Structure 1
Amino acid sequence: MAPGPSNRVLLTGISGFLGGHIALALLHAGYEVRGSVRHLDKAEKVRRTLAAAGADVSRLDFVTLDLLSDAGWDEAMVGCHTLLHSASPFLIQTPRDPMDLIRPAVQGTERALNAALRAGVDRIILTSSMAAIAYGHPRRRTAAFGPKEWTDLEGRAVTPYQKSKTLAERRAWEIMDAAGRRHDLVAINPSIILGPLLDEDPGTSATIVQRLLSGSVPAAPNIALTIVDVRDVAAAHVAAIAAPEAGGRRFPMGAQTVSLLDVAGMLREDYPGRRLPRFGLPDWAVRLYALFDRDVRDNVGELSHPKTLDSSASIALLGRSLLSARHALLATAASLLQRGLA
């Protein structure tokens, strides 16, 4: 579908880090954008942020939607030809009850997709995650994870967040299969998303860079990060609207997998005055600390277990290579420092 005056996209989660970049890419591409926020008082801030980034916000309007409420979904879809469902719960601290993450992720997906189907949209694009692909598998696995693979929910050390993304995406495919419209759904499955901030909210992924720059990580656990640039992820969402070959497919996105210690090294090259970790932390020390910290405990499964993604489908969709992990990392750092956040 080419952009035009009647090509309005409903974008859920527009106030988030990725949602803002998707909105920016959509507006630059000529689409009309209807963004959903939980509270309308966020709308003006989003409008100012996108205008400051160079977007034509005359083609932007807002609706209030809640992942856990039926109110407003059908009205929000009126006049929209595409649903881009980016909203998803992501709590910085692991909840005591996993359903605090799983329930809104799954029910929000159900509400969004069912409303879109009732409205007869042409295409639905779901922001899923590497979390729905690459976890719960045997530790001996070294091959890259591709679009046909799913996180094993019965596997070792699967976190509530990984469960929420897996169950939400599986539910999306179930809904589309039941409607006989599987080929009208596209799932984008990014890894850790970094890149330039559009506002003063560092979000969740940028917190890793923020902590490194602040000197609060004296030694680096042996954890690898698969990184993708937010601008590539946003571009993939926009490309998926009009690409016939994208229908019915999943698109893993990860430019490179690098250790946390290597991430610190990349930052040190540009910021030599920062107190960045130079040494690794033994796995046994992390496991010991995890006995007293639930959030650390949830990430113990990542110790000495790097994962890579097969991003060839996303590269083909974009028609170019992905921006490097270093590119995304340094853009994040520059934004944090420019905004006084590190």
Structure 2
Amino acid sequence: MTDRVLLTGISGFLGGHLALQLLNAGYIVRGSVRNLSRADKVRATLSKAGAEVDRLEFVALDLESDVGWQDAMDGVRYLQHTASPFVLQMPDDKDDLIRPAVQGTERALNAALAAKVERIVLTSSMAAIAYGHDRTRSAPFTANDWTNLEGRGVNPYTESKTRAERRAWEIMREAGREKDMAAINPSGIFGPLLDEDPGTSVTLVQRLLNGSVPAAPRIPLAVVDVRDVAEAHLAAMVSNEAGGHRFPMAHSTMYFKDVAEILREAFPAYAKKIPKLELPDWVVRVYALFDKDVRSNLGELGVLKRLDASAAMRLLDRKLTPADASFVATGESLIREGLI
């Protein structure tokens, strides 16, 4: 009998790539969407990417509603919980991010535990590891680090991911099943799109290519490839050694100017639109008065964060995809999908 995996957030960037890898590995994938009207689009996208979609099922689940969660676990051996709000522009009310992130995690894990699901893989983030610390820290952040919610530069998104992951481990400890969950903590996720939806992180590359960023802010960007993150989720699901552990994931950290140079070399037809200059910090702060996306991320200005991804590389038994290859794949897919 083929094992069934419940994958929340299947219509997202990471969710789509994870579904593709699960289907290609022979699993039955039960993907959750907020509205079943999206199912046909997801099915078509995965079919176009080469997946055998006859083993693809759909359920309607909402992170803020109890409806359907227990039924969704019927016959499920593994839970992959990737669904969580992700934005670049912070909301006026931070609970608009924190509430669904935490409550969705509670609903997913409690339903999985009640159904005696064998292994849970949680998509967390470096946001739950590397924020609110001393800005001068140079040592890489590890799985032992947690974001300090009382520290400087913590925004609603980082708080939502931190509170959601902490709550997940608390639930597993209370159930005596801490070893039956693994958390994947990726940095900014880039790589090839599967459809015409650029999502959130890929929008950064889109803006560099389409000329909407006149000069590069001195904001560092830790980078990991979506295909690596999806593969780590799959590996953590079946590896006995992965249970009870967190897996930070980033290939490298670079500034926007470095990303722009990679894109300029790879896509000469767009070179004139890609910024060449790096903005002084004081100019970024002034610019942020008129650009809410930048304003929401001012806390990252000049703060270089690195992750220790050694555990993830051991899990995958290989090195991570180089950042420049991820950015080129991102750009190629944006152009292919007519998004530039």
The superposition leaves residues 214-272 of structure 1 with CA deviations (integer Å, 9 ceiling, x where unpaired) of 01111111111111000000000001111000000000000111110010000111112
The residue number in structure 2 matching 1:233 is 229
Q: Is the 2:89–2:296 Cα contact (8 Å) retained in structure 1?
A: no
Separation (CA, whole Å) in 2 of partners of 1:300 and 1:76: 40
Letter in 2 for 1:317: L
Task: State the secondary structure of the residue aligned to 2:77.
Answer: strand
Separation (CA, whole Å) in 2 of partners of 1:307 and 1:321: 19
Q: Is the 2:6–2:30 Cα contact (8 Å) retained in structure 1?
A: yes
Give the Å deviation of 1:300.
1.2
The superposition leaves residues 112-133 of structure 1 with CA deviations (integer Å, 9 ceiling, x where unpaired) of 0000000001100000001000
Letter in 1 for 2:294: V
- Evaluate the alpha carbon distance shift between residue 123 and residue 89 of structure 1 in structure 2; reply closer, same or farther with a 3 A threshold: same
Separation (CA, whole Å) in 1 of partners of 2:200 and 2:262: 20
Separation (CA, whole Å) in 2 of partners of 1:104 and 1:126: 15
Residue 148 of structure 2 corresponds to residue 152 of structure 1: yes
Task: State the secondary structure of the residue aligned to 2:268.
Answer: coil
The residue number in structure 1 matching 2:104 is 108
Aligned residues, how many? Answer: 338
Separation (CA, whole Å) in 1 of partners of 2:20 and 2:146: 30
Separation (CA, whole Å) in 2 of partners of 1:319 and 1:301: 35
The residue number in structure 2 matching 1:188 is 184
The superposition leaves residues 292-313 of structure 1 with CA deviations (integer Å, 9 ceiling, x where unpaired) of 4443222111111111100000
Separation (CA, whole Å) in 2 of partners of 1:296 and 1:213: 17
Residue 41 of structure 2 corresponds to residue 45 of structure 1: yes
Give the Å deviation of 1:91.
3.1
The residue number in structure 1 matching 2:267 is 271
How does 1:1-342 map onto structure 2 within 5 Å? Answer: 5-274=1-270, 275-342=273-340
Task: State the secondary structure of the residue aligned to 1:61.
Answer: strand
Give the Å deviation of 1:186.
0.3
Separation (CA, whole Å) in 2 of partners of 1:292 and 1:33: 43
In structure 1, stretches of 5+ residues that fail to align are none
Q: Is the 1:157–1:298 Cα contact (8 Å) retained in structure 2?
A: no
Separation (CA, whole Å) in 2 of partners of 1:117 and 1:131: 26
Separation (CA, whole Å) in 2 of partners of 1:326 and 1:296: 23
Q: Is the 1:188–1:250 Cα contact (8 Å) retained in structure 2?
A: yes
Q: Is the 2:17–2:227 Cα contact (8 Å) retained in structure 1?
A: yes
Separation (CA, whole Å) in 2 of partners of 1:290 and 1:212: 17
The superposition leaves residues 170-196 of structure 1 with CA deviations (integer Å, 9 ceiling, x where unpaired) of 000000000000000100000000011
RMSD of the alignment, in Å? 0.9
Give the Å deviation of 1:157.
1.3
Task: State the secondary structure of the residue aligned to 1:273.
Answer: helix
Letter in 2 for 1:179: A
In structure 2, stretches of 5+ residues that fail to align are none
Alignment TM-score, normalising by the size of structure 2:
0.98
Task: State the secondary structure of the residue aligned to 2:79.
Answer: strand
The superposition leaves residues 272-321 of structure 1 with CA deviations (integer Å, 9 ceiling, x where unpaired) of 23221111100011112334444322211111111110000000000000
Task: State the secondary structure of the residue aligned to 1:171.
Answer: helix
